[in-house]
Copies of this chain bind each other. A is one copy, B any other.
Amino acid sequence: MSEADKNAVWNSAITRIAPNKVAVRGYDIAELMGHVSFGSAVHLILTGQLPAPPIARLMDAILVSSIDHGATPPSALAARTVASTGASLSASVAAGIMSINRHHGGAIEDCARQLKAIADRSARESLSMDEAASRSLVAMREAGERMPGFGHRLHTKDPRTARLFELAREAGVDGMHMHAARAVEKAFAAVKKSLPINVDGAIGAILADLGINPAAFNGIFMIARAPGLIAHVIEEQTRERPMRRIDPVNHGYDGPPPRSVSQ
């Protein structure tokens, strides 16, 4: 029985701490360790539910897909800039985390909300999903709005997107948001616009189909990107001189050459 502590001034429903006992959303943490992946534990702590193994694998894949995108995103630049002044690892990483907002990572949530609106419209107005998508895009264009989560500055065919949808289908996930996402791609193609769904849009569609609260989507992106930010800060601290001017565009890669997991 999970009644609240009687003397408590306030309560939290996340983790119960007692002598020699730590339980996350009701699960003994020592039992979770070794039994579930970190992606599974992320799903648990954010939704209250431990996912089935295929969903856990999908959660891990979503986190892996966003672990880093090089040194040009503002989160990496902010973290490196702060690190170059002699800041600690945690302060530098925090500057990177603070950069994950509406315009950086926010398309995950925004795209999911637009896809839901399209799916809702399809149901409400008894339109096909394609028709609902098409009409919604026209309305957005007339209002001067852009559809978030579609198109990419660099990637015309984002390698992460196809893989995410493949893994989602393998996990049996293919709900109204993913359906709406395909309808949007078709609607763009019909007007000769090459605006395929990007990695943010794909993650938004999948997380929404998993039933996760959109308010947590940017948080999932923060979790995913934290290792990348840490790697950038440590590299800045160990490889560059303090207070250098960090060119946000003209930098290259000199790490390991291409290699394969299966080797």
- Name A residues whose Cβ lies closer than 8 Å to a Cβ of B: 1-17, 19-39, 41-42, 45-46, 48, 50, 57, 60-61, 63-65, 67-72, 74-75, 77-78, 81-82, 84-91, 93-95, 97-104, 106, 154-160, 162-164, 166-167, 170, 213, 215-216, 218-219, 222-224, 226-228, 230-235, 237-238, 240, 242-261
Contacts and interface: CB of A to CB of B under 8 A. Distances in A.
B251 A8 contact: yes
A252 B12 CA distance: 6
Nearest to A70: B17
Given A20-B158, A26-B255, A162-B30, A60 B37 contact: yes
A223 B230 contact: yes
Q: How many copies does the complex hold?
A: 4
B2 A33 contact: no
A89 B20 contact: no
Interface centre among A90, A93, A224, A251 (most CB of B within 10 A): A90
Given A94-B94, A163-B34, A256-B48, A14 B231 contact: yes
